[in-house]
């Protein structure tokens, strides 16, 4: 019997989750009661049918039901924010986010805990692949490619939501009170030793989230955790300078020789070269201004988020 207090968080996001709820609780209770001295189940109802949830929980034994806490959200929120509501309520030495798709594999909770005892504060389940339609695959491929290129955070593109988090890592995570939460990036942001356990179950699309919503969430995450847009504007500015320089040189050449860089003859029109030079200069200056504004906005954005400058993992005295 392990002397650890385990908080297991489950997010009831769709009606399909309610179908797995009874098995999720029963199997999880049997596993936890056999291996841990103290535990609790924290269910977050993300605006699903309360009567259906009650009907799934009430037939269970009293010893199990008294370990269950149900948080009913007043309005639907994103899955990450629902997870955060559960983590806010978690009291255990370890918090386990456990998806309902793993209801038939409760032993994974114990495996996550055992891996954490090897010196890891965050241990997650890793899928072998993404089982998604082609448009979703392309979007996720671009998303993680941008993240790996323009951010210092290292995200695993095959990470499930299910994971175990130690109390000290959870306390650091809960300090990051951001309105646009992308938890997988925040896990990487707080740091701490992290490991993965490979499972056979692939990542599947969330039926409650449309492609447009996922695209919007990806764009918010990219602007929050990467320098992609600022870098993109920087390259646009450099490209605008090259285009402006080429247009000015071509206009001057036509003005002097009536032949452009492609060898084509052009009749000189009074004021044409002056107009091209003027428009090209203002085009480059406009792109420069956009780039400078993006830098200022990025700095303001980072200040508003008020992320900690550092996180102390531990203190050791000799």
pLDDT digit string, tens, across residues 241-257: 887 788 778 777 777 77
Q: Is 210 exposed, middle or buried (0-12, 13-18, 19+ CB in 10 A)?
A: exposed
pLDDT at position 316 over 50: no
Please tell me the predicted confidence (pLDDT) of residue 305.
66
pLDDT, tens digit, for every residue of 114-164? 999 998 999 999 998 888 778 778 888 888 888 888 888 888 888 899 999
Confidence of residue 238 (pLDDT cuts 50, 70, 90): confident
pLDDT at position 5 over 70: yes
pLDDT at position 80 over 50: yes
Please tell me the predicted confidence (pLDDT) of residue 121.
92
* Beta-carbon count within 10 A of 114 CB: 14
Please tell me the predicted confidence (pLDDT) of residue 82.
85
pTM, entire model: 0.77
Domain ranges of the chain: 2-207, 228-305
- Could you tell me which residues come within 8 angstroms of residue 80 by beta carbon, excluding any fewer than 6 positions away? 181, 182, 183
Would you mind telling me the total number of residues written for the chain in this entry?
318
**Average pLDDT of span 90-95:** 91
Please tell me the predicted confidence (pLDDT) of residue 309.
46
**Average pLDDT of span 25-50:** 88
Please tell me the predicted confidence (pLDDT) of residue 179.
66
pLDDT at position 274 over 80: no
How far, in Å, CA of 109 to CA of 227, rounded?
36
Sign of the dihedral defined by the CA atoms of residues 52, 183, 8, 202, in that order: positive
Strand ranges, E, within the chain: 2-12, 36-45, 68-72, 94-97, 122-126, 159-166, 194-198
Mean confidence (pLDDT) of the chain: 82
- Could you tell me which residues come within 8 angstroms of residue 22 by beta carbon, excluding any fewer than 6 positions away? 56, 57, 59, 60
Architecture of domain 2-207: Alpha-Beta Complex (3.90)
């Amino acid at each position: 019997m392990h002397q650890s207090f385990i908080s297991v968080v489950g997010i009831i996001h769709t009606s399909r989750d309610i179908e797995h709820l009874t098995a999720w609780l029963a199997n999880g209770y049997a596993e936890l009661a056999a291996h841990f001295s103290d535990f609790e189940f924290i269910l977050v109802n993300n605006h699903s049918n309360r009567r259906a949830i009650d009907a799934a929980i009430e037939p269970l034994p009293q010893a199990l039901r008294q370990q269950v806490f149900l948080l009913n959200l007043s309005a639907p929120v994103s899955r990450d924010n629902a997870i955060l509501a559960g983590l806010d309520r978690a009291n255990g030495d370890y918090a386990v986010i456990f998806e309902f798709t793993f209801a038939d594999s409760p032993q994974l909770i114990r495996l996550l805990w055992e891996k954490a005892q090897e010196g890891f504060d965050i241990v997650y389940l890793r899928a072998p692949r993404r089982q998604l339609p082609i448009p979703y695959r392309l979007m996720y491929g671009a998303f993680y490619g941008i993240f790996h290129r323009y951010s210092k955070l290292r995200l695993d593109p095959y990470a499930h939501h299910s994971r175990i988090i130690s109390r000290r890592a959870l306390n650091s995570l809960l300090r990051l009170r951001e309105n646009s939460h992308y938890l997988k990036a925040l896990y990487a942001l707080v740091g701490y030793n992290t490991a993965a356990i490979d499972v056979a179950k692939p990542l599947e699309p969330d039926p409650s989230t449309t492609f447009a919503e996922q695209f919007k969430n990806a764009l918010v995450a990219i602007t929050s955790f990467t320098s992609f847009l600022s870098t993109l504007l920087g390259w646009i500015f450099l490209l605008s300078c090259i285009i402006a320089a080429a247009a000015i040189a071509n206009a001057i050449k036509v003005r002097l020789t009536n032949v452009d860089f492609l060898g084509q003859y052009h009749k000189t029109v009074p004021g044409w070269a002056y107009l091209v030079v003027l428009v090209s200069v203002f085009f480059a200056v406009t792109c420069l201004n956009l780039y400078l504004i993006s830098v200022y906005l990025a700095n303001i954005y980072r200040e508003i988020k008020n992320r900690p400058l550092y996180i102390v993992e531990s203190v050791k005295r000799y």
